[in-house]
Structure 1
């Protein structure tokens, strides 16, 4: 199935390689003045596109008197992102709150991984081409749900959160058996083309918007209905990288804050940046319509992440209970005022 989906993706121009860069593991820790960043697919990573396009890390590094070499890598799925960070192959990891909480929980007392910042607030849609599936209660063995990483990705955790609300905490993983790990571009291509066993996708923008162009595809679940406005995707790092590279780390944080202000205040320029950097096959006006949605907010301040953290502890998916969102976010000289 995976090969057929990949071929479909390529045939309609949505496919993308899992690796835009290369990972070498194990790798040695980077010295001050070097930073390696791993991102994934979608508009939720637009702040990183802006940082890259405008060379903002390099600019903020020069303001501190250092030259910074930036390396960019693209992967799919929180599991791959977490592995890359723990192997020492990357320094900054971009993934959902789900993968963050998993790695935060498992590295306490060792690498002490925490989040650096949010990438903004965006609704994620669970979509299906099965007309019988109106709610998550309608999924059956006839359905296959694509998401970036089974049991780890924020989409997977959102699905578990929804299942717990539907059937109770003991049944939180009831729908996991119907899920498959498929990159967003490939899953989108499969649903647009039809004809594969894959008939549902827990997506993110712009892929969820593109796939709704298929009249047979409809929204089953909107995460804003599930949790309210929230920050689904974040950036995180090890305590060692933050402590050993204070100037590089600060340059990155300052660059990200500048990118957020740029994207939030100039949506047209942000759309142009996304197309230019990602080379996405998407109409500019269609993209601008997506990101001009008032529900989309480009911000480094996390919003409403704690309910998912509390849930994961309650069902035993993580062993350490965070007392607040501040437990899994670094608190820098300009502390975030989040939730």
Structure 2
């Protein structure tokens, strides 16, 4: 299916998101203390960044530290685009899944030393299908296509590989990769709802998975909480250089995230309003609030249960360096204090 037809369907169902590709973000030179450029992707999992942006929390904590901070925001789709932007110097903070984090941590180990700054919370991700014949991952065939943000790199791709390894053994971990295609969440959701295309699967995230499931033709094939237990699928990461050369800006960012997490966890209604206001999402507030109020959701900067995926990726050869624990791929900051 062409990009144009995907975008038309996205507009038709009112998902209303603009897509910026990695090519739009121009490389930039290293800058002095007092500037931070942040890349986010799509979905409720980035709500903490929406709160930070809406309440100007980085600027607030910067002023408390005696500096004025200029914050630039951009939106990308897929871990590959985000990782490329970070390594090119186009952004300072990358928002992506644990899969892209572990890939870039491994590749920059001993060089740029990219590590995670914080989690964005704990959320179940659903693998969906509109094909009634697909009940489990074993039912996908060459006639199916599964949308993921970035083939082989995104956390959704890694979750699918993890599930395949459990189903068929580690040697077959990438068995379903040939069925995956890179499509942004809004477009994939529109295609799944509309039907009539080869795209019959989508490894999604909230609220897109919930919007798709409102269609009776769409069902859940796999829940990542069933696969791994409660976990933090999405994180923020940066280079060691940025952290060391911009300590006040970096600290203001971490403090802003912590404040945003406290706000979102304690006031789900205000969090829902923030998401709609900042993203422009065409979603009913009551529907969104019901999604956010899911007891399985936890807005927290402390990572949870990320290490099983790291151990798996090393075991199958997706990363060369084996982390001893989650602390190997997270910066050792005062926040978060604990994790897994």
SS class of match (1:36): strand
Give CA deviations for 1:115-135 in whole Å, capped at 9, x if unaligned.
Answer: 000000000000000101000
Residues 171/241 of structure 1: CA separation in 2 closer, same or farther (3 Å cut): same
* In structure 2, C-alpha distance between the alignment counterparts of 1:289 and 1:113, rounded to whole Å: 36
Structure 1 segments (4+ residues) deviating >6 Å: none
* In structure 1, C-alpha distance between the alignment counterparts of 2:22 and 2:331, rounded to whole Å: 27
1:104 alignment counterpart? 105
1:239 alignment counterpart? 240
* In structure 1, C-alpha distance between the alignment counterparts of 2:291 and 2:122, rounded to whole Å: 13
Q: Does 1:94 align with 2:95?
A: yes
Q: Is the 8 A contact 2:22 2:85 kept in 1?
A: no
* In structure 1, C-alpha distance between the alignment counterparts of 2:237 and 2:70, rounded to whole Å: 19
2:68 alignment counterpart? 67
* In structure 2, C-alpha distance between the alignment counterparts of 1:140 and 1:16, rounded to whole Å: 31
**Structure 2 residue ranges without an equivalent (≥5):** none
1:37 alignment counterpart? 38
Q: Is the 8 A contact 1:6 1:15 kept in 2?
A: no
Q: Is the 8 A contact 1:144 1:178 kept in 2?
A: yes
1:138 alignment counterpart? 139
* In structure 2, C-alpha distance between the alignment counterparts of 1:103 and 1:235, rounded to whole Å: 12
* In structure 1, C-alpha distance between the alignment counterparts of 2:22 and 2:154, rounded to whole Å: 21
* In structure 2, C-alpha distance between the alignment counterparts of 1:22 and 1:273, rounded to whole Å: 29
* In structure 1, C-alpha distance between the alignment counterparts of 2:47 and 2:308, rounded to whole Å: 25
1:209 alignment counterpart? 210
Give CA deviations for 1:68-97 in whole Å, capped at 9, x if unaligned.
Answer: 000000000000000000000000000000
Q: Is the 8 A contact 1:14 1:280 kept in 2?
A: yes
Q: Is the 8 A contact 1:21 1:74 kept in 2?
A: no
TM-score by length of 2: 0.98
SS class of match (1:16): coil
Residues 216/260 of structure 1: CA separation in 2 closer, same or farther (3 Å cut): same
Let me know the Cα RMSD of the aligned residues.
Answer: 1.2
* In structure 1, C-alpha distance between the alignment counterparts of 2:22 and 2:330, rounded to whole Å: 27
Q: Once the 2 structures are TM-superposed, how far is the Cα of residue 333 of structure 1 from its aligned partner?
A: 3.0
Query: More displaced, 70-79 or 10-19?
Result: 10-19
Q: Once the 2 structures are TM-superposed, how far is the Cα of residue 7 of structure 1 from its aligned partner?
A: 1.4
Q: Once the 2 structures are TM-superposed, how far is the Cα of residue 5 of structure 1 from its aligned partner?
A: 1.3
Give CA deviations for 1:110-155 in whole Å, capped at 9, x if unaligned.
Answer: 1100000000000000000010100001000111100100000000
* In structure 2, C-alpha distance between the alignment counterparts of 1:20 and 1:177, rounded to whole Å: 23
* In structure 1, C-alpha distance between the alignment counterparts of 2:132 and 2:250, rounded to whole Å: 48
* In structure 1, C-alpha distance between the alignment counterparts of 2:118 and 2:54, rounded to whole Å: 19
Q: Does 1:194 align with 2:188?
A: no
2:270 alignment counterpart? 269
SS class of match (1:274): helix
TM-score by length of 1: 0.98
SS class of match (1:90): coil
Query: More displaced, 59-68 or 185-194?
Result: 185-194
* In structure 1, C-alpha distance between the alignment counterparts of 2:24 and 2:198, rounded to whole Å: 31
Q: Once the 2 structures are TM-superposed, how far is the Cα of residue 316 of structure 1 from its aligned partner?
A: 0.1
Q: Once the 2 structures are TM-superposed, how far is the Cα of residue 3 of structure 1 from its aligned partner?
A: 2.3
Q: Is the 8 A contact 2:21 2:81 kept in 1?
A: no
